[in-house]
Structure 1
Amino acid sequence: MPVTDVTTDAEKLTMTLVADFAAPVERVWAAFTDPRQLERFWGPPGWPATFTEFDHTVGGRARYHMTSPQGERSSGAWEFLMIDEPRRFEVIDGFVDSDGAAADGMPSMRMTYEFEVTESGTRMINVTYFDSVEALEQLTAMGMVEGSTMAMNQLDIVLEGLRAYAQGKGTRTELLDDTHVRITRLIEGPREFVWRAHNEPELMRQWLLGPDGWVMTDCVIAAAAGDSYRTAWAPVDGTEGEAFGFEGEALLVEAPRRMVTTERMTGVDGPGTVNDLSLDEEDGATLLTLLIEYPSRELRDMILATGMTDGMEASYARMEKELVR
């Protein structure tokens, strides 16, 4: 992971984050000064960022919001104080309301980003300066250290490029913590089509089948937040297994970029999962990222042990081979 150290200093009222990237300084600088690239790593997993304003000049302003799987928003703004391309920039970062005004009860911070040349690429040193011990304690209690670490650990994917990161590597499963799993798969095709393949029943019935020998028997789509969905499968041609299905509700739908749903197996009591699907396109290919939140480590391990990743790979390979055009 790129982040190598995060420390807080109550006497100096600072938080310092250090990360090393295998990319030139100019490439790292470009990622921090292009809002479309920033959106791919600025928010931690589950809270992706959307930049709605970006004036990268001294005195200029950037505005963004991060959206949770449940649709909650946390909004912020930068004011650029100093820019020394490609080595250093400095901003005032603060929480804002929907109109862009400073949010009541929330502190602002001065932040510096420095980019140093190393033998392997670039070292980034990010220092956050707080106005008081209370502000430092308030934001660290809100998870600033963990959130910043997870966000910056996503930057290496952006720097590497989607094809170099994921092409030819199939479906990959990462355990982020006891209850969160991240699944990634590069699809050779445009984002709009991959979105359609997840949201049009006639397309879903052609690829979302897992291993050969199964057919989708039910497919009801959740087109908007609050809608319910259900899917079901059954074995054919003597394939072993019993029919099963899933059902749930859409929590967030932002076509063609993101969709968040709850999921539980039909007819099974107890808590289910929250599935956060996001699609990023680059050079005609789409990186599919599925962040799954489980209610417990035990359920996570039980579901992964069913061969879920292999079944997903069979489906994604089928989509890529038979549908993408």
Structure 2
Amino acid sequence: MSRDVEATVDHDRRTATITTTFDHPPEAVWRLWSDPAAVARWWGPPGLPMTVDHHDLRPGGTVEVTVDAPGGTIRGRWDVIAVEPPRALRFTFSSDGLEPTEVDVRIVPEVDGSTQMVVTAGFTSEATFAHALAIGFVEGLSRSVAAAHDAL
């Protein structure tokens, strides 16, 4: 199973795209997002305990998580915009210390039976984008996506 994760930052579009490939079908990769227990195993800072407090993965629904970090509790929230199981998900991600960010997830079956997952975070302003880069958002999201391999 490939654990390679590629991160691409597009300064003109103010996006960060994380791509990885799984040796699993799209339905299994989709469960990384649709199953609260799976979300708790990979989303968020690797190595820190996280709980999924609420999981309503439908347009208009929310997913709420809590991370126990050394400096205190971090709360995160997804405001779900669109859901197309098992191929696509779009939500606005909000977290303590970070302005809301639109996240677009694409799950793409490959001809060899593997599945590519592409996660793109888009930032609303140059200041928000610069702040996200400065605090290591791209590196953190890359580590989380890499950890998703262990959650399957």
TM-score between both structures, scaled by the size of structure 2: 0.91
Corresponding position of 1:77? 77
1:114 matched to 2:106? The reply is yes
Runs of 5+ in structure 2 lacking a partner?
none
Report which of the two structures shows the higher radius of gyration computed on alpha carbons: 1
In the alignment, structure 1 segments of 5+ residues that lack a partner are: 97-104, 160-325
Give the partner amino acid of 2:80.
F
Match of 1:130 in 2: 123
8 Å CA contact 1:3, 1:17 repeated in 2: no
How far the C-alpha of 1:71 sits from its partner, in A, is 5.8
Compute the displacement of 1:106 (Å): 3.5
Partner residue in 2 for 1:34: 35
**1:35 & 1:63 partners in 2: Cα distance?**
10
Moved beyond 6 Å, runs of 4+ = none
Query: Does the CA contact (< 8 Å) of 2:5 and 2:142 recur in 1?
Result: no
User: Matches of residues 149-168 of structure 1 in structure 2 within 5 Å?
Assistant: 149-159=142-152
Partners of 1:132 and 1:86 in 2: how far apart?
30
Task: Calculate the TM-score normalised by the size of structure 1.
Answer: 0.44
Name the counterpart of 2:25.
Answer: 24
Aligned residues: 150
Deviation at 1:49, TM superposition (A): 2.1
Mapped partners of 2:130, 2:71: distance in 1: 26
Cα RMSD over matched residues? 1.5
**Partners of 1:5 and 1:139 in 2: CA distance:** 18
**Cα pair 2:53 2:64 within 8 Å, conserved:** yes
- Deviation string 1:140-179 (CA, Å, 9 cap, x unpaired) is 21111111111111111221xxxxxxxxxxxxxxxxxxxx
Cα 1:73–1:3 change in 2 (3 A) is: farther
CA contact (8 A) 1:94 1:109 kept: yes
Give the deviation of 1:120 after TM superposition: 4.2
3-state SS of the aligned residue for 2:42? coil
Structure number with higher relative contact order (C-alpha < 8 Å, ≥ 6 residues apart): 2
CA deviation map 1:46-75 (0-9, x unaligned): 32321101111110011112222x362211
Secondary structure in structure 2 of the residue aligned to 1:39: helix
Name the counterpart of 1:53.
Answer: 54
CA contact (8 A) 2:5 2:145 kept: no
Quick one: which amino acid aligns to residue 111 of structure 1? V
| Alignment of structure 1 residues 226-245 onto 2, 5 Å | none
1:7 partner letter: T
Give the superposition deviation at 1:3: 3.9
Cα separation, 1, equivalents of 2:8 and 2:49? 24
C-alpha distance in 2 between matches for 1:71 and 1:54:
25
| CA spacing shift, 1:3–1:136, aligned 2, 3 Å | farther
Deviation digits for residues 106-164 of structure 1 (CA, Å, limit 9, x no counterpart): 410110000000114110011111011111110121111111111111111221xxxxx
> Separation in 2 of the partners of 1:116 and 1:9?
21
2:141 equivalent to 1:148? yes
Which residue is equivalent to 1:63? 64
Q: Which protein is richer in strand relative to its size?
A: 2
